[in-house]
Amino acid sequence: MKEIKILIIDDDPKIRAMLKRSLTYAGYTVVMAEDGMAGWDSVIKNKPQLIILDIMLPEIDGFEVCHLLRKEEIAIPILMLTAKDEIRDRVKGLDCGADDYLVKPFALEELLARVRALLRRNSREQEVLEFETLKANTKTYQVWQGEREVELTPKEFKILTLFMAHPNQVITREKLMETIWGYDYEAESNVLEVYIGYLRHKLEEEGEERLIHTVRGVGYVLKKK
């Protein structure tokens, strides 16, 4: 059976322990974080298939965590938990990008049913981009170069998937800057070149050919040499 990893972001240790026991018993791999920033770091590090996210968190709350994930186009399903049964909170959570909502206290059977439903839905919607030996899963945020899994930051992932959605097509610097950073390209800025360098370093181990090529004065293209 394929491992399914679930991230719990909740500052209540009793809730975390209870959820971990139940989800582990149901066959899932569980990772946990006790605040929003640790949760964000865990998403990048662990690449879970689903997130259970409490709203009332220290430092940055669940709404902000959800908003940040969706802003970075991280499409992992999010099940939000809250002690407040108010319509405005449910609406705010869904507007931030949550996929489902559960009010505390809840029955574990209902939580597990919602987890299964979200995982089924995500599996149906899952999209894998492929180019030569590269594969990128736009739902689980995973990238493989052949049999090797490649760890990418959110920005690196967005750049790579933009290339993979348009293989063998030259993408201008202006288009890349506008799509990835959301503002017009500035000639004096080398941020794009820096990120292309990061991507090349991670994708091209010794003996592996270059896939991202520079088109001088124009931009870049993903192609086989």
Tens digit of each residue's pLDDT (9 = 90 or more) over 17-74: 999 999 999 999 999 999 999 999 999 889 899 999 999 998 899 999 999 888 887 8
* Amino acid at site 75: A
Looking at per-residue confidence, does 124 or 139 come out higher?
Answer: 139
Amino acid 175: pLDDT: 87
| Strands 170-172, 219-222: pairing kind | antiparallel
Residues ≥6 apart with Cβ < 8 Å to 22: 108, 111, 112
| 116 confidence band (pLDDT: 50, 70, 90) | very high
Domain match, 105 and 119 both: yes
| 9 confidence band (pLDDT: 50, 70, 90) | very high
Amino acid 147: pLDDT: 85
Domain match, 27 and 71 both: yes
Give the count of domains, the chain. 2
Tens-place pLDDT, residues 77-113: 999 998 766 777 777 878 888 999 898 888 999 999 9
- Here the tokens at position 79 are 């099940």
d(CA 138, CA 165): 11
Q: For residues 52 and 65, is the Cβ–Cβ distance under 8 A?
A: no
Domain match, 147 and 119 both: no
d(CA 48, CA 7): 6
Q: In what order do the strands lie in the sheet with 29-33?
A: 29-33, 5-9, 50-54, 78-82, 100-103
Domain match, 18 and 111 both: yes
> Which of 105, 125, 145 is at the close of a domain?
125
Residue 87's Cβ-side half-sphere holds a number of Cα atoms within 13 Å equal to 0
Partners of 79 in the β-ladder: 52, 100
Domain match, 34 and 101 both: yes
CA angle 194, 195, 199 (to 5 degrees): 120
Residue-number span of the structural domain to which 76 is assigned: 5-125
Q: Which residues of 131-154 are buried (b: 16+ CB within 10 A; e: fewer)?
A: beebbbbbbbbbbebeeeebebeb
Res 195 pLDDT > 90: yes
Amino acid 38: pLDDT: 93
Q: What is the pTM of this model?
A: 0.63
Question: What's the rounded mean pLDDT across residues 154-175?
Answer: 90
